[in-house]
């Protein structure tokens, strides 16, 4: 039987953006902008901010700090 | 606050529109009682106006050419996320026999620089032209795009191919390649404009997508074009008494141009922004452009927090203190002014009775935990930005080449990622690493699939390449 990796890619990502109980929503911080959930978990919080971007300085550093700040106000608990 | 304002505007009989950044934000406002005609995201709002203008002008074009015009063959722009790459391919096809090599080398660079040039509104009224090479060079330097060329140069091309191209560039230096790439981008930008607004360009009525092996009819646009072409064509929008914009710190130049075109003498504009939440500079957002838009406007700072408890605010304040933003945030209070009880920083297992979101800085980080949770049997849904699957498939097609096993592709991806590292600021780098994680997940979910066997096909593209190899070389394993 032929298994298509590209078919797997398309079924892997869902288009339903509504958070609801019973399903764990996963995504990047950029994806989650504007969304809310009761419980919010951060994967590898040590990567916030990304050291490589902070080292670049300037707008990259500022943006990285914004991303770090952005992940904090999400929970509505 | 927006919902309260809507209540006031409705009662006052003022016509208004709320523009938000994406579909998720639009859905959230609709779930809070706003009506579909009151809320739009920038792209869909501009796209609607653009398609009607394109249909009208191009139909007129047909009439002038004495072609049949009926309601069945109405002209409609095709939306294609990899449009710029296809246009670059068309542009380089004029330079045989090196065209395919030049496409391979420059397509990622041109894609990124074209995206930035368009979000900076190049070619629009009052802005630099698309052919302004110093401006394009400035963008390439600011966003460190030269590494896109060097990544492809070192990781994709063979030594004989490099020697061939050096003759075209007039030297082996990286600067020569960058200069050539910038000049090509300027031409691709103009060509892209024509591809988005015409039925035929350079004798072609279609562009060929090598990933899906489909011919795409002109006019073709991508998501940036939806707003860019509306701004460049100076489309007029129906007047509204008030325009409300959420997340205004993420407005780019073309969105600002669109807002300016909606401003009338007796209309109002209200924007809600937080400079500490700007996370799209990499996409071309300029804080100065927003400052210019709001010059002379009344600015009200709202310090009341209706969302977060004290413990979360305390951590957020530490981050704000490191930023050049003078902001002291306070914890959520109830109607009596009592500060909300502390939130819990979770250390216990996930409670599926609540809505749960798990976030990571990069795609790769999230996918790594996804595998762990799936292994534990938890109900997990992965979400991506826009057409993530389509982008990954396209990326996959780049790496399939003449081979069709997962192991070959994995080896190429690892090599390419190592050449481009460390550059975790690059979205593309993250996509490469994400694709590697997805390959692991795919194999874990399909334990019977042996990555060394040819029947584990990577994509439709891979299968076609493999079939062609069989035909050309009878001794090929497939």
DSSP single-letter state for residue B73:
G
Give chain B positions within 8 Å (CB) of A31: 383-385
Give the whole-angstrom CA distance, residue B408 versus residue B411.
5
Q: Are B40 and B245 contacting, i.e. CB atoms less than 8 angstroms apart?
A: no
Q: Look at residue B422 in the predicted model and tell me its pLDDT.
A: 47
Give the whole-angstrom CA distance, residue B224 versus residue B118.
7
Residues B395, B396, B402, B406, CA torsion sign: positive
pLDDT at B113 over 90: yes
Q: Are B223 and B50 contacting, i.e. CB atoms less than 8 angstroms apart?
A: no
For B381, residues 6+ apart whose C-beta sits below 8 A from its C-beta are A14, A16, A23, A24, A25, A26
Q: Look at residue B340 in the predicted model and tell me its pLDDT.
A: 60
DSSP secondary structure string for all residues of B370-398? HHHHHHTT--EEE--SSSHHHHHHHHHHH
Q: Look at residue B367 in the predicted model and tell me its pLDDT.
A: 86
A34/B247 Cβ within 8 A: yes
Average pLDDT of chain B, as a whole number: 80
Task: Tell me the three state secondary structure of residue B450.
Answer: coil
Q: Look at residue B463 in the predicted model and tell me its pLDDT.
A: 42
DSSP single-letter state for residue B201:
B
CA-to-CA separations, B175 to B89, B146, B147, B178, in angstroms, rounded: 22, 9, 11, 5
Give me the helices (H) in B300-348, please.
310-322
DSSP secondary structure string for all residues of A1-43? ----HHHHHHHHB-------BTSEEEEEHHHHTT--BSEEEES
pLDDT at B247 over 80: yes
Tokens of B21: 């950044």
* Residue bearing tokens 């015009």: B69
Name beta bridge partners: A31.
none
Beta sheet of B242-245, edge-to-edge order: B39-41, B16-20, B242-245, B268-271
pLDDT at B416 over 80: no
Give the Cβ contact number of residue B8 at 10 Å.
Answer: 11
Three-class secondary structure assignment of B247-297: CHHHCCHHHHHHHHHHCCCCCEEEECCCHHHCCCHHHCCCHHHHHHHCCCC
pLDDT at B292 over 80: yes
Q: Look at residue B469 in the predicted model and tell me its pLDDT.
A: 36
A25/B355 Cβ within 8 A: yes
Tokens of B38: 């009151």
Task: Tell me the three state secondary structure of residue B354.
Answer: coil
Question: Which chain B residues in 264-303 lie under 8 Å from chain A, judged by CB atoms?
Answer: 276-282
A13/B424 Cβ within 8 A: no
* Minimum CA–CA partner of A21 in chain B: B355
Give the Cβ contact number of residue B191 at 10 Å.
Answer: 19
pLDDT at B17 over 70: yes
For B356, residues 6+ apart whose C-beta sits below 8 A from its C-beta are A19, A23, A24, A25, A37, A38, A39, A40, A41, B350
B308/A39 Cβ within 8 A: no
Size of chain B, expressed as the number of residues it contains: 478
pLDDT band at B89 (very low <50, low <70, confident <90, very high): very high
Tokens of B239: 């007047």
Tokens of B192: 């892209």
Q: Look at residue B472 in the predicted model and tell me its pLDDT.
A: 37
Name beta bridge partners: A13.
B382
If you average pLDDT over each of B28-42, B84-98, B383-397, which comes out highest? Answer: B84-98
What average pLDDT score do residues B466-478 get? 38
* Minimum CA–CA partner of B427 in chain A: A30
Q: Are A33 and B285 contacting, i.e. CB atoms less than 8 angstroms apart?
A: no
Tens-digit pLDDT profile for residues B165-175: 999 998 889 99
pLDDT at A68 over 90: no
Q: Look at residue B386 in the predicted model and tell me its pLDDT.
A: 62
Task: Tell me the three state secondary structure of residue B183.
Answer: helix
If you average pLDDT over each of B95-99, B325-329, B410-414, which comes out highest? Answer: B95-99
Q: Look at residue B342 in the predicted model and tell me its pLDDT.
A: 57
Alpha carbon B319 to its chain's center: 27
A66/B278 Cβ within 8 A: yes
Q: Look at residue B118 in the predicted model and tell me its pLDDT.
A: 96
Tokens of B170: 């007039």
pLDDT band at B428 (very low <50, low <70, confident <90, very high): low
Which backbone phi and psi does B207 adopt, to 5 degrees?
A: -115, 150
- Give the closest-approach CA distance of B241 to chain A in angstroms: 26
Tens-digit pLDDT profile for residues A17-54: 555 567 888 888 888 777 778 888 888 877 778 887 78
- Give the closest-approach CA distance of A58 to chain B in angstroms: 10
pLDDT at B329 over 80: no
* Minimum CA–CA partner of B445 in chain A: A8
Which backbone phi and psi does B261 adopt, to 5 degrees?
A: -70, -20
Give chain B positions within 8 Å (CB) of A55: none
Give the whole-angstrom CA distance, residue B25 versus residue B28.
5
Tokens of B29: 């406002």
DSSP single-letter state for residue B120:
T
Q: Which residue has the higher pLDDT, B105 or B416?
A: B105
Cα angle for residues B332, B334, B335 (degrees, 5° grid): 140
pLDDT band at A58 (very low <50, low <70, confident <90, very high): confident
Question: Which stretch of B50-64, B174-188, B371-385, B415-429 has the lowest confidence by average pLDDT?
Answer: B415-429
Q: For residue B373, which of B392, B356, B385 has the smallest C-alpha distance?
A: B356
B358/A43 Cβ within 8 A: yes
Q: What percent of chain B has pLDDT over 70?
A: 81
Residues B75, B226, B57, B62, CA torsion sign: negative
DSSP single-letter state for residue B424:
T
Give the whole-angstrom CA distance, residue B156 versus residue B425.
21
What average pLDDT score do residues B226-254 get? 89
Give the Cβ contact number of residue B370 at 10 Å.
Answer: 24
Pair type for strands B214-217 and B206-209? antiparallel
Give the whole-angstrom CA distance, residue B252 versus residue B158.
39
């Amino acid at each position: 039987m032929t298994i298509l990796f590209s078919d797997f890619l398309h079924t892997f990502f869902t288009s339903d953006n509504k958070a609801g109980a019973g399903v764990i929503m996963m995504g990047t911080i950029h994806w989650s902008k504007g969304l809310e959930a009761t419980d919010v978990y951060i994967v590898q919080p040590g990567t916030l901010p990304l050291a490589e971007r902070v080292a670049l300085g300037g707008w990259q550093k500022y943006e990285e700090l914004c991303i770090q700040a952005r992940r904090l106000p999400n929970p509505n608990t | 606050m927006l919902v309260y304002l809507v209540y006031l505007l409705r009662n006052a009989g003022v016509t208004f529109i709320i523009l938000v950044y994406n579909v998720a934000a639009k859905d959230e406002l609709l779930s809070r009682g706003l009506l579909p005609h009151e809320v739009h995201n920038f792209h869909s709002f501009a796209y609607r106006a653009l398609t009607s203008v394109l249909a009208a002008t191009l139909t007129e074009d047909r009439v002038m050419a004495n072609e049949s015009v009926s309601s069945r063959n109405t002209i409609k722009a095709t939306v294609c996320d990899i449009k710029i790459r296809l246009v670059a391919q068309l542009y380089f096809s004029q330079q045989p026999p090196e065209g395919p090599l030049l496409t391979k080398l420059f397509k990622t660079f041109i894609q990124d620089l074209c995206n930035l040039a368009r979000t900076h509104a190049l070619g629009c009224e009052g802005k630099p032209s698309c052919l302004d090479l110093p401006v394009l060079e400035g963008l390439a330097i600011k966003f460190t795009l030269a590494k896109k060329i060097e990544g492809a140069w070192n990781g994709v091309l063979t030594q004989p191919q490099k020697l061939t191209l050096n003759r075209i560039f007039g030297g082996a230096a990286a600067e020569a390649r960058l200069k050539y790439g910038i000049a090509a981008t300027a031409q691709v930008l103009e060509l892209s404009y024509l591809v988005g607004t015409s039925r035929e360009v350079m004798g072609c009525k279609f562009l060929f997508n090598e990933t899906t092996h489909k011919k795409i009819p002109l006019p073709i646009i991508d998501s940036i074009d939806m707003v860019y072409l509306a701004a460049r064509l100076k489309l007029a929008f129906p007047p509204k008494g008030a325009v409300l914009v959420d997340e205004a710190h993420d407005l780019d130049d073309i969105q600002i141009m669109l807002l300016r075109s909606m401003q009338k003498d007796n209309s109002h504009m209200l924007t809600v922004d937080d400079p500490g939440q700007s996370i799209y500079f990499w996409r071309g957002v300029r804080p100065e452009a927003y400052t210019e838009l709001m010059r002379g406007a009344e600015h009200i700072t709202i310090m009341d927090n209706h969302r977060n408890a004290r413990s979360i605010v305390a951590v957020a304040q530490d981050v704000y203190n490191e930023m050049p933003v003078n902001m002291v945030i306070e914890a959520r209070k109830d109607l009596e002014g009592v500060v909300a009880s502390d939130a819990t920083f979770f250390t216990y297992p996930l409670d599926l009775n609540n809505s749960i979101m798990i976030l990571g800085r990069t795609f790769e980080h999230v996918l790594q935990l996804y595998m762990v949770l799936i292994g534990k049997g938890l109900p997990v849904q992965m979400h991506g930005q826009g057409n993530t699957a389509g982008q990954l498939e396209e990326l996959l097609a780049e790496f399939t080449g003449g081979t069709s096993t997962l192991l070959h592709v994995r080896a190429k991806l690892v090599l390419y990622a190592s050449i481009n590292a460390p550059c975790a600021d690059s979205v593309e780098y993250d996509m490469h690493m994400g694709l590697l994680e997805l390959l692991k997940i795919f194999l874990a979910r399909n334990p019977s699939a042996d990555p060394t066997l040819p029947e584990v096909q990577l994509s439709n593209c891979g299968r076609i390449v493999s079939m062609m190899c069989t035909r050309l070389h009878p001794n090929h394993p497939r």
